[in-house]
Amino acid sequence: MLTLEFAKPRDHGMRILCVGAHSDDIEIGCGGTILRLLSQYRDAEISWVVLGSSGERDDEAVTSAEQFLQGAWRKDIIVEHFRNSFFPYVGEEIKSFFEKLKMRVTPDIVFTHFRSDLHQDHRLVSELTWNTFRNQLILEYEILKYDGDLGSPNVFVHLDEATCQKKISVIMECFKSQQDKDWFTPDAFLSLLRIRGVESKAPQKYAEGFYCRKVIL
């Protein structure tokens, strides 16, 4: 299959914004893709925004982001404390945050939650991303969960096994507070990567899947 590349030279400072409702969402949804982009774009600038952290998860979020962003030329890690599971009910505050974020970053690409994600916090973040960033390439990532909202992504980023293992090992190492959750296991993360790899004929077996609603050729 003919693949697409971003129409930006690799030495022209790709600007990437990653937005996640909770402290491990970005890593789970697009961590492998970020690692791959950072290996390709040596002068990438990354803004990494976690909206709903609290307590020990603050440190986990920063430690993990630092690990994923080791290859970034410039990074800006923002950890906010909007109340988990209540995002739609404090939507005005979160909307105001997005308005300020728009003044702070001008990304080429935005990674955000899937529009049809069944977690209410994820869904609101996706909606506000689209409200806020009106002239950007937006890729929506997926998060495996009990609710069963996986769909059929239409954009795939192929990953090699080493990148997948790095993604999973950093997640498992950094987010100790999540390890009592039954879905928070290396095999669950690897399984989805493998499934998306099958769906996209990934030569090295693995891929992350995304939803892209607008793409310009």
Q: Which of 16, 19, 21, 171 binds Zn ion (CB under 5 A)?
A: 21
What's the rounded Cα separation, in Å, for the pair 59 and 40?
28
Q: 101 or 125: whose CB is closer to Zn ion?
A: 125
Q: Which is nearer to Zn ion, 90 or 198 (CB)?
A: 90
CA atoms within 13 A on the CB side of 98: 23
Whichever of 73 and 184 has its CB closer to Zn ion, that residue is 184
CB of residue 24 vs Zn ion: minimum separation in angstroms? 7
Q: Which of 16, 18, 25, 33 binds Zn ion (CB under 5 A)?
A: 25
Both structure tokens of 46: 């990354």
Least gap, CB of 122 to Zn ion (angstroms): 6
Q: Can you tell me the distance from the alpha carbon of 179 to that of 207, in angstroms, rounded to the nearest whole number?
A: 24
With CB under 5 A as the contact rule, which of the stretches 24-32, 102-110, 131-139, 172-180 interacts with Zn ion?
Answer: 24-32
Cα distance between residue 162 and residue 151, in whole Å? 26
The dihedral sign for the CA sequence 17, 51, 39, 150: negative
Alpha carbon distance 92, 49 (integer Å): 18
- Nearest approach in angstroms of CB 87 to Zn ion is 10
Q: 25 vs 45, which CB is nearer to Zn ion?
A: 25
* Angstrom distance (rounded) from CA 11 to CA 85: 40
Tell me if 16 contacts Zn ion by CB under 5 A. no
Binding-site size, Zn ion (CB under 5 A):
3
Please report, as ranges, the residues that interact with Zn ion according to CB under 5 A. 21-22, 25
